[in-house]
Amino acid sequence: MIKKIKNLNLRTISNSGQCFRMNEVGDNEFDILASDKYLRVKVISKDTFDFDCSKEEFKFYNNYFDLNTNYNKYKTICKKNDNFLKKCIDFSFGLRILNQDKFETIISFIISQRKSVKAIQTSIERLCKLSGKKIKNKYGTFYTFPTAKEILKLNKTKLLSCGMGYRTEYIINFCKDYLMGKYDLDEYSKLNDDDLIEELLKIKGVGIKVASCIALFAYHRMSICPIDVWINRVLEQKYNGKIPKEYKLYAGMIQQYWFNYTRINKL
């Protein structure tokens, strides 16, 4: 189905570090695997997209891509004299914060620690191929992101073969605890930002950066700003070491603009 959508750039989103199963596969075509779903999207023009799905299936992607939010509003919060952020926003046209599955995001970002994006993607795809459900269609063979039960069906040797190293124990423990009801991920949506972070930090293997990523990318907490080496560099060189108070309400979104610009253009 053809859709006219403003401010959506799949290439920018796929390279933004918030998801690991969105891949450009041809001339302006993208494979998108989210939770138990597969989607092929062809970019026809800057604002026109061909979603190979039904009208009913598109409801999921409307939420996934946060299409009901007008991202033009983020341009208006840029301070008049902040030429650096303006440059980052202009460079990052079409960047959006996805609404991702909570369980998938937790597992993915536990895996992500001290790994390159390519290594993260490789580990996740191995895990999905070993324990996810097979999806076969005209585009090829793909695998859903596994459930906790499906992950635990694998023995430790097979999990280690996914290249997760020391993170394997964290994933096993989390899946066991999750199935026992220790973590009510949907209930966490009702918590305020501080309490949400506090609960996420109770998961073994989740530190403040990973908890912040989960809060932003799975719970859409736009005021939470994950801090990594890129963002530290931005804050130190451009903002005297701290996030300006004017940006704190949308620090998570602004962090994505900073990250997207600096990892490609450096500082």
pLDDT in tens for each of the 267 residues of the chain?
999 999 999 999 999 999 999 999 988 999 999 989 999 999 999 999 999 999 999 999 999 999 999 998 888 999 989 999 999 999 999 999 999 999 999 999 999 988 888 999 999 999 999 999 999 999 999 999 999 999 999 999 999 999 999 999 999 999 999 999 999 999 999 999 999 999 999 999 999 999 999 999 999 999 999 999 999 999 999 999 999 999 999 999 999 999 999 988 877
Provide CATH 3.30.310.260 ranges for the chain. Answer: 2-91
Identity (one letter) of the amino acid at 116? Answer: S
User: pTM higher than 0.75, yes or no?
Assistant: yes
Distance, in Å, from the CA atom of 226 to the CA atom of 197, rounded to the nearest integer, reads: 11
The confidence score (pLDDT) of residue 115 equals 83
Tokens of 168: 């394997």
User: Among the residues of the chain, which ranges form H helices?
Assistant: 10-14, 55-64, 73-76, 83-91, 102-111, 117-131, 148-152, 156-160, 167-179, 193-200, 208-217, 229-238, 251-265
Query: What was the pLDDT predicted at 224?
Result: 97
Q: Is the Cβ–Cβ distance between 251 and 3 less than 8 Å?
A: no
Short-list 49, 55, 52, 63, CA closest to 3: 49
Say which residue the tokens 């202009």 belong to: 90
- Dihedral sign of CA atoms 101, 102, 105, 107 in order: negative
The label of the residue with tokens 């269609």 reads 137
The pLDDT of residue 44 is 97
pLDDT for position 225: 96
Q: Cα 100 vs. chain centroid, distance in angstroms?
A: 7
What pLDDT shows up at residue 75?
A: 86
- What pLDDT score does 114 carry? 83
Q: What residue spans in the chain does CATH classification 1.10.340.30 cover?
A: 102-214
CA distances from 62 to 51, 114, 193, 196 (A): 11, 32, 25, 25
| Direct distance between the N- and C-terminal alpha carbons of the chain, in angstroms, rounded to an integer | 41
Closest CA to 104 of 231, 259, 213, 191: 213
Q: Which CATH superfamily does the domain covering 102-214 fall into? A: Hypothetical protein; domain 2 (1.10.340.30)
Alpha carbon separation from 140 to 28, 34, 39, 135 (Å, rounded): 17, 16, 12, 8
Domain 2-91 CATH (choose: 3.40.50.720, 3.40.920.10, 3.20.20.70, 3.30.310.260): 3.30.310.260
CA distances from 104 to 32, 55, 99, 222, 243 (A): 14, 25, 11, 19, 29
